[in-house]
Amino acid sequence: MRSKRPYQSNQATVRRKQPKFAYLRLGFSFLIAALFAIYITQNPVERAIQNIRDSINSRPASGTIHVVEIDAKSLQKLQRWPWPRRYHAQLIDQLNAAGVDQITFDVDFSSHSGPREDTVFAAAIARAGGKVVLPTFRQAESSQGSTVEVESLPIEILRKNSFLGSVNVHPDGDGQVNSYPYGTITGATPRPSIAALLADSNGPLDVEFKIDQSVSLASIPKHSFADIISGKFDKNALKGKKVIVGATAIEIGDRYATSRYGVIPGVLIQTMAAETLLAKMDLPNFGGWPMLFIIVAALIFWIHNGTSRGIAGSTMIAMTALTLLMVPLLAERLKLAHFDLFPALLMLIIFLSAQYVASILQKLAVERRVDRDTGLANFASWQIQNRADQYGTVIVAGIANFQAIISTLDETDAGNFMRAIASRLEIATGGTQLFRIGREQFCWKIESNVTDDINHQVEAVSSLFNAPLLINGRPIRATICFGAASGNMAEPATLSSKAGLAAKKASETGTRIAWHDDGLAENTDISLSIVSQFEEALENGEISVVYQPKYSTHANRVVGAEALIRWSHPVRGAISPAVFVPILEQENLMEALTVFVLQQSLEELPKWNAFGEKMSCAINVSASLLTNSTFVNRASDMINDSGIDPALITIELTETAALSSLDQAERSLKQLKNLGAQLSIDDYGTGQSTLSYLRKFDVDEVKIDQSFIRSLTADTASRIMVQSTIELAKALQISVVAEGVEDAETLELLAMLGCDKIQGWHIGKPGPSDHFIENWCQSDGSKAILGDRVKTRRRAG
């Protein structure tokens, strides 16, 4: 074994310098953590730590505030939303009769209903005798080219006998609501928040406090709106209590993300904020500085007393970490203050990491030129010892099956394996110094530049590995591949890299040795960007449109297709739309692509409809184009000029795409709808839309995303999602398309559930227009292809 004395001697020298460098690392760690505390006040780690503290400090709600839920049960019983305001009047009368102290609404009353409905509601508010609180909302409004803040108030007739409270909440940078204002000031008008009114509390307006999410949501008393107005509730349970009325039904969409509880109804956020004030948990937030100074003091003590190693060091780390965790927890439990833990935790992690890295670097400084597994000179030694301005040849031996072998060995056997490899290579190289330059690579330099001589030596080396290596009594056969590169040894690292690349090529091609050449060094990745080739690809026909049939379960035939895009590259072959479409989207090139698809489809539609049956075509339109009036006008002109019935054109809007301007999108879609075109929401169920989203855009069709369809027959949750979507669409008189149908069982189940149209490989794969005409536009061909697939559906009918 190699002597450890030189290593230990160098370590002792380095250890004497540790305190000085440790203080430098401490200063660096503090600087990073301080910058974090100053500039990054919100981060997921801090929230996760806060969630743990809230779970430990979890407590029930006070029971003072009850929630009246506008829930799914109430929506079903009272039918359409928004409700006639007489229902809210009935609610007030019932609650007033039960003796509640306060009735607070988290429902928008800023617009008029019918005159009679408003009058009935206003009368009920008056009968309540000042118990009713109605919501206001501060929002931005454009006026004469500038943005001003205005307050959205309940209509005047409702304000006369009610108090007003702000319902504004402000999501943080990650879209979560974890803090809440005492109130708002709009213009010169101060307005307390609903939570402050519920808790009879006050604080500086437009200042926020952290919502206490240790309150158990399950413990908040809740009542259904429908039960209250029908009198089916315990009046004694509500006597002397305060009530907040708000939506919890998913369909209404008033929901926000929170740190601990995920996405919850807005009314529960208002309630948690009120519970925070009731419990006096609106504590001062001192941020991360107190904990940061505590950790600085602990680490200074740690360095000064030399307790950074061994048991003493581990104990100190444990005590420091325990202090960091306990101080904020106890401060909140005792209702003293909020402390952010992450800056201090970050400093501790950075400092300990720096200490660890420093210790590793110290060891590397001592043994930086030796491979510890084999005892061979390493890559650093290779660079230093072989730098010379002369011509030479480098041979790299690589273990082709290295990963497979190492994965089956423990650490000790892996070391023995590498030493056995090195031993055989040293024998074969005939006294030439061998270097280990990588995990599975060894190299040496030879004097000869004659290819035959080098190949002969490689054959000799390779023959030594015909017999397996014996590792811990187990025979292991190593596959060795060789790479060779000749050149100036002034840059030995470059030459060995070239030889290593050649060895990799030998491994991939199954040859014993490969020589490096210029072609091997070329980058095999895509050299030309998608953007630079896109316009040329459109012009020369590399990009084409294919059509996937859509089958109607009612007509028992194909009734149209979706236009899809394909790119056949002359060098790289087929490029997936999943690769190039996002790039075009990012580079604002989707207009040219969409116009191309629309033009192609408009040219093909008359051919499809020449056979007597009506055939439609769906065109995918990026959400970004809906704010592009030039595109919308151009698309409208193209449809008008084509002479085709616009009802045969369906605009598919991808639901997962965020709309930057709902108002502009609504105007664009209305323009296309006014032409007679149909509107479809693609990938429904994966992201953006709610019921109000569907109603706002006057949708004709929704396409259920294939992620739900492919698991429909095996996954109960997917089936419930699909079934509920179909039922909802039927209620809204919206057609439903299922995409991604790949088998008869799924087709049959969708037909039974009432799905209107089916799309997927079970109906037909995407193909050119001629193929679509041949198989689907000719009635005989359509029936022949679809016969077996829909026979179950026809029997059910």
Per-residue pLDDT reduced to its tens digit, 429-476: 777 889 999 889 999 988 777 788 888 888 888 888 888 899 988 899
The predicted pLDDT at position 784 comes to 38
Composition of the chain by helix, strand, coil, percent to 5: 50, 20, 30
Please report which confidence band the pLDDT of residue 27 belongs to, taking 50, 70 and 90 as the band edges: confident
Ranked by mean pLDDT, the top range of 303-312, 401-410, 774-783 is: 401-410
Distance set, CA 660 to CA 139, 626, 667 (Å): 17, 9, 13
Displacement of CA 700 from its chain's centroid (Å): 29
Q: Taking Cα atoms as reference points, which of 337, 59, 65 lies closest to residue 194?
A: 65
Identify the DSSP state of 84: P
pTM attached to this predicted model: 0.47
Distance set, CA 497 to CA 401, 442, 457, 738 (Å): 19, 11, 20, 53
Q: Taking Cα atoms as reference points, which of 330, 344, 329, 333 lies closest to residue 287?
A: 344
Residue 792: Cβ within 10 Å count: 16
**What mean pLDDT do residues 58-70 have?**
95
- The span from the CA of 782 to the CA of 774, in Å, is 9
Across 353-390, where does the E strand assignment appear? none
The predicted pLDDT at position 787 comes to 46
Bigger pLDDT: 560 vs 33: 560
pLDDT exceeds 80 at position 786: no
**What mean pLDDT do residues 375-400 have?**
86
**What mean pLDDT do residues 727-749 have?**
91
The predicted pLDDT at position 572 comes to 77
Residue 467: strand, helix, or coil: coil
**What mean pLDDT do residues 523-531 have?**
49
Query: From its phi and psi, is residue 206 left (phi > 0), alpha (psi between -120 and 50) or beta?
Result: left
Please report which confidence band the pLDDT of residue 794 belongs to, taking 50, 70 and 90 as the band edges: very low
**What mean pLDDT do residues 306-327 have?**
72
The predicted pLDDT at position 524 comes to 31
- The span from the CA of 673 to the CA of 373, in Å, is 72
Exposed/middle/buried for 473, CB within 10 Å: 0-12, 13-18, 19+?
exposed
Instruction: List pLDDT tens digits, range 652-666.
Output: 986 544 566 677 888
Q: How confident is the prediction for the chain on average, in pLDDT? A: 85
Bigger pLDDT: 521 vs 183: 183
Instruction: Please answer whether residues 752 and 796 qualify as being in contact, where contact means their C-beta atoms are separated by less than 8 angstroms.
Output: yes
**H or E element in which residue 495 lies:** helix 492-509
pLDDT exceeds 90 at position 235: yes
The predicted pLDDT at position 792 comes to 41
pLDDT exceeds 90 at position 619: yes
pLDDT exceeds 80 at position 793: no
pLDDT exceeds 70 at position 532: yes
**What mean pLDDT do residues 169-186 have?**
89
Please report which confidence band the pLDDT of residue 4 belongs to, taking 50, 70 and 90 as the band edges: very low
The predicted pLDDT at position 179 comes to 93
Instruction: Please answer whether residues 246 and 267 qualify as being in contact, where contact means their C-beta atoms are separated by less than 8 angstroms.
Output: yes
Ranked by mean pLDDT, the top range of 118-127, 309-318, 786-795 is: 118-127
**What mean pLDDT do residues 664-688 have?**
83
What single letter denotes the amino acid at residue 226? A
What single letter denotes the amino acid at residue 167? V
Q: Taking Cα atoms as reference points, which of 600, 456, 457, 579 lies closest to residue 526?
A: 579
- The span from the CA of 787 to the CA of 797, in Å, is 15
Q: Among residues of the chain, what percentage have pLDDT more than 70?
A: 89
pLDDT exceeds 50 at position 18: yes
pLDDT exceeds 90 at position 96: yes
**What mean pLDDT do residues 490-498 have?**
87
pLDDT exceeds 70 at position 3: no
Residue whose tokens read 């008029």: 112
Please report which confidence band the pLDDT of residue 2 belongs to, taking 50, 70 and 90 as the band edges: very low
pLDDT exceeds 80 at position 715: yes
Please report which confidence band the pLDDT of residue 277 belongs to, taking 50, 70 and 90 as the band edges: very high
Query: From its phi and psi, is residue 575 left (phi > 0), alpha (psi between -120 and 50) or beta?
Result: beta
The predicted pLDDT at position 796 comes to 38
**H or E element in which residue 739 lies:** strand 735-739
Residue 129: Cβ within 10 Å count: 9
222 - beta bridge partners?
67
The predicted pLDDT at position 710 comes to 87
The predicted pLDDT at position 203 comes to 87
Across 536-693, where does the E strand assignment appear? 543-552, 557-569, 573-575, 616-621, 649-654, 678-684
The predicted pLDDT at position 767 comes to 93
Please report which confidence band the pLDDT of residue 514 belongs to, taking 50, 70 and 90 as the band edges: confident
- The span from the CA of 601 to the CA of 618, in Å, is 9
**What mean pLDDT do residues 89-108 have?**
95
Please report which confidence band the pLDDT of residue 140 belongs to, taking 50, 70 and 90 as the band edges: confident
The predicted pLDDT at position 43 comes to 80
Bigger pLDDT: 690 vs 155: 155
What are the residues whose beta carbons fall under 8 Å from the beta carbon of 625, sequence distance 6 or more?
590, 591, 594, 631, 632, 668
